[in-house]
Amino acid sequence: MNTDIMTIKEVSEYLKLTEKTAYRLVAEGKIPGFKVGGSWRFRRTEIDRWIVEQEKQRGTTK
């Protein structure tokens, strides 16, 4: 199912991180996410925008 909203498991796979690392980063406010009930959710568009910003900050854009 291709949807704009991802779970912590999906975002960790998308970013190639462990789930533990994804939890830590979102809890620290380093990746954009929001809670629904007690579970983290992520908009794919926000994650993609965050990736572009990370590339710009580090000067790694192509």
Q: What is the pLDDT of residues 25-61, one digit of tens each?
A: 999 999 999 999 999 999 999 999 999 999 998 876 5
46-52 contacts: CB < 8 A, separation 24 or more? 47/6, 47/11, 47/14, 47/15
Distance, in Å, from the CA atom of 15 to the CA atom of 9, rounded to the nearest integer, reads: 10
Domain regions of the chain by residue span: 5-58
Q: With contact defined as beta carbons under 8 Å apart, do 45 and 32 qualify? A: no
pLDDT, tens only, 2-26: 579 999 999 999 999 999 999 999 9
The structure's pTM equals: 0.83
**Class (C level, CATH) for 5-58:** mainly alpha
- Residue 11's alpha-carbon distances to 8, 39, 59, in angstroms, are 5, 13, 23
